[in-house]
């Protein structure tokens, strides 16, 4: 059993090294310019080791995106305040904090031409979550739930993209408050529970 734990730790460390190398390269150049050889060399592993864990650089990018979306959900769940009065504002701050803590990854994504992969997944995830919240709340709006969810998700992703591309000129609390006020202005702030 002890050797299985050591193997697992080695695999985790190897994957971390590969991911870090990939992220460092990804923040410097376009995905199409990055080679598996560069990733392997920077991670101090051989090419075969990279292919053991990932099909190619696109698979590596997809797994990085999935990993960050999963971590974002978990991070927000940890900071979720379980009260009936919880409104959108208290749920936006952890999202901005997570983006701030992982600035290098998200900055590289939004600077790279392949941003659309991440952007589309984030938009889909947020709009589906918001639509679910809209459909389960008591407050009925005269705006179609799907359109409302798409509006909120697009606004949120657009604001996050702007914030990251401008090197986070405001702290997460300020961003959460501002976005909340924008949603409130558009009568969208009545969604209860978590944003994600």
Q: Residue 88: its pLDDT value, please?
A: 52
Q: Residue 137: its pLDDT value, please?
A: 72
- Among the listed residues 58, 189, 52, the one whose alpha carbon sits nearest the alpha carbon of residue 134: 189
pLDDT in tens, 28-62: 888 889 999 999 999 999 999 999 999 999 999 88
- Going by pLDDT thresholds of 50, 70 and 90, the confidence category of residue 193 is very low
pLDDT in tens, 64-107: 888 888 887 777 666 554 433 334 556 678 888 888 998 988 88
Domain 58-196 matching CATH 1.10.3720.10: the answer reads no
Distance CA 67, CA 61 (A): 10
147-165: average pLDDT? 89
In contact, 114 and 29? CB cutoff 8 Å: no
Q: Which fold has domain 1-54?
A: Arc Repressor Mutant, subunit A (1.10.10)
Hey, what are 125's tokens?
Answer: 């995830």
Query: What average pLDDT does the chain have?
Result: 80
Exposure on the CB side of residue 181, measured as CA atoms within 13 A: 6
Lowest average pLDDT, out of 11-15, 97-101, 187-191, goes to 187-191
Domain with CATH 1.10.10.60 in the chain: 1-54
Domain with CATH 1.10.357.10 in the chain: 58-196
Hey, what are 110's tokens?
Answer: 């939004």
117-125: average pLDDT? 81
Report whether pLDDT(21) > 80.
yes
The distance of Cα 111 from the centroid of its chain, to the nearest Å, equals: 15
Q: Residue 18: its pLDDT value, please?
A: 95
3-class secondary structure for 74-118? Answer: HHHHHCCCCCCCCEHHHHHHHHHHHHHHCHHHHHHHHHCCCHHHH
């Amino acid at each position: 059993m002890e050797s299985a734990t050591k193997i697992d730790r080695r695999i985790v460390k190897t994957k971390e090294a590969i991911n870090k190398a990939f992220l460092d390269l990804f923040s410097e150049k376009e995905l199409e310019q990055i080679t598996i050889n560069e990733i392997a060399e920077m991670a101090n592993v051989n090419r075969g080791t990279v292919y053991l864990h990932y099909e190619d650089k696109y698979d590596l990018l997809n797994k990085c995106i999935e990993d960050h979306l999963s971590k974002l959900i978990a991070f927000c769940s940890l900071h979720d305040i379980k009260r009936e009065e919880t409104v959108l504002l208290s749920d936006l701050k952890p999202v901005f904090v997570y983006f701030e803590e992982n600035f290098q990854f998200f900055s590289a994504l939004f600077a790279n031409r392949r941003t659309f992969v991440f952007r589309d997944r984030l938009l889909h995830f947020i709009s589906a979550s918001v639509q679910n919240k809209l459909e389960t709340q008591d407050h009925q709006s005269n705006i179609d739930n799907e359109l409302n969810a798409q509006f909120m998700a697009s606004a949120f992703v657009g604001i996050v993209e702007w914030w990251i591309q401008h090197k986070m000129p405001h702290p997460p609390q300020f961003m959460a408050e501002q976005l909340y006020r924008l949603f409130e202005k558009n009568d969208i702030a009545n969604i209860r529970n978590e944003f994600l």
